[in-house]
Amino acid sequence: MLPLLVLVASATALVAADPTPIVLWHGMGDTCCSVGSMGSLMNSIKKEIPGVYMYSVELGSNTLQDREKGFLANMNDEIEGICKKIAADPKLAGGFNAIGLSQGGQFLRAVAQRCPNPPMKNLVTLGGQHQGVYGFPHCAGDTPLCDEIRSLLDEGAYIDWIQNTIVQAQYFHDSDDEELYRTKSIFIAEINNELKQNDAYKENLSKLEQLILVKFTEDSMIVPRDSSWFGFYAEKDIDTIVPFNETKLYTEDRIGLRTLDQSGRLQFYTMEGDHLQIDMKVFNQILDKYFK
Ligand SMILES: *[C@@H]1O[C@H](CO)[C@@H](O)[C@H](O)[C@H]1NC(C)=O
Ligand SMILES: *[C@@H]1O[C@H](CO)[C@@H](O)[C@H](O)[C@H]1NC(C)=O
């Protein structure tokens, strides 16, 4: 019996030594594996964490669909689909760390809240919009699709068909009409337990080992940029920002944010510069501290 026991023990040690896999979710207008952005980020992660398995989320089944679904989709359906892909990937079965860029940040948080198996361990969001945005993010190189979406949002982000089709409408947060936002937003208000309290969300988000929120100091894309840290405009007052720990979301611990904070599991980082100008020095510090 003894040799077998030894064998099992050393096999376990080998498995334990494997780095925790990483799931990534790209931002608006980007795709899973584009050479210039996600591809190079993944290459740089590979240098920091040799041998790490990575799954970069692709929406739809090709690059074209992946980019388009960053604008036109029902994100609740997309997130459900990605949860299934994650659950079906044997390499992720033991749990994973996650990195979300821009809107990918709030989508991965929804994964943590809705689909806790396999477990997400640490979640890093870079320029996420956890309280939504009040205004449409500008797009790099302003595409015609972008212009069209902007005019639809102007028409009414909470009109049912727009809400159900336009991704950015689903995290549009009108602080001039919080009631409308709470009742009509099918995504961001829902995952933030704004309309009704879903305790499973709180329970599931609280299971994270660490939630790491990165804000860009000069972010011109996210309005207001404090949304990356769960802050937002005061109701009917865009001259006042309510910091994360004075929002009801936090004080009433609706989604477990206060629980995470009070147990030392909520981290705030800043990076100098505009939206997604990732400071690799700070990024690598985060990897060092939480992913290794
Ligand atoms: C929260 O996690 C549990 C499993 O731990 C799961 O059954 C439940 O569906 C999740 N909650 C929600 C709202 O999806
Ligand atoms: C909110 O958090 C900030 C930064 O951590 C801290 O300085 C401040 O005292 C907190 N405010 C409240 C009301 O707890």
User: Is 34 among the domain residues?
Assistant: yes
Ligand 1 pocket check for 114: Cβ under 6 Å = yes
Nearest partner of 41 among 256, 290, 280, 282, judged by Cα: 280
User: Is 245 among the domain residues?
Assistant: yes
User: Is 31 among the domain residues?
Assistant: yes
> Of the bound ligands, which one is closest to the alpha carbon of residue 243?
2
Q: Where in the sequence is the domain holding 87, given as residue range(s)? A: 19-135+199-232+241-291
Q: Mutate which of 204, 205, 254, 255 to test ligand 1's pocket (most atoms within 8 Å of Cβ)? A: 204
User: Is 9 among the domain residues?
Assistant: no
User: Is 163 among the domain residues?
Assistant: no
Measure 90 CA to ligand 1 centroid, in angstroms.
20
Q: Is residue 122 a contact partner of residue 292, using CB atoms and an 8 Å limit?
A: no
Query: pTM for this one?
Result: 0.91
Give the count of alpha carbons within 13 A of 292, CB side only.
13
CATH code where residue 53 lies: 3.40.50.1820
Give the count of alpha carbons within 13 A of 142, CB side only.
5
> What is the total count of domains within the chain?
1
Q: Kindly report the CA angle at 195 between 264 and 267, in degrees rounded to 5? A: 15
Ligand 1 pocket check for 201: Cβ under 6 Å = yes
Nearest partner of 208 among 114, 109, 83, 121, judged by Cα: 121
Q: List the pLDDT tens digit at each of the 292 positions of the chain.
A: 444 544 454 455 455 578 999 999 999 989 999 998 999 999 999 999 999 999 999 999 999 999 999 999 999 999 999 999 999 999 999 999 999 999 999 999 999 999 999 999 999 999 999 999 998 766 665 577 877 888 888 889 999 999 999 999 999 999 999 999 999 999 999 999 999 999 999 999 999 999 999 999 999 999 999 999 999 999 999 999 999 999 999 999 999 999 999 999 999 999 999 999 999 999 999 999 999 9
Structure tokens at 165: 């089709």
Nearest partner of 228 among 120, 105, 119, judged by Cα: 105
- In this structure, the residues whose C-beta lies within 6 A of any atom of ligand 2 are 243, 245-246
Ligand 1 pocket check for 207: Cβ under 6 Å = no
Ligand 1 pocket check for 140: Cβ under 6 Å = no
User: Is 226 among the domain residues?
Assistant: yes
- Token pair 């079965």 is found at 93
Q: Is residue 168 a contact partner of residue 59, using CB atoms and an 8 Å limit?
A: no
For residues 29 and 1, what is the distance between their CA atoms, to the nearest angstrom? 58
- Show the beta-strand stretches assigned E in 217-256: 232-234, 237-242
> Of the bound ligands, which one is closest to the alpha carbon of residue 268?
2
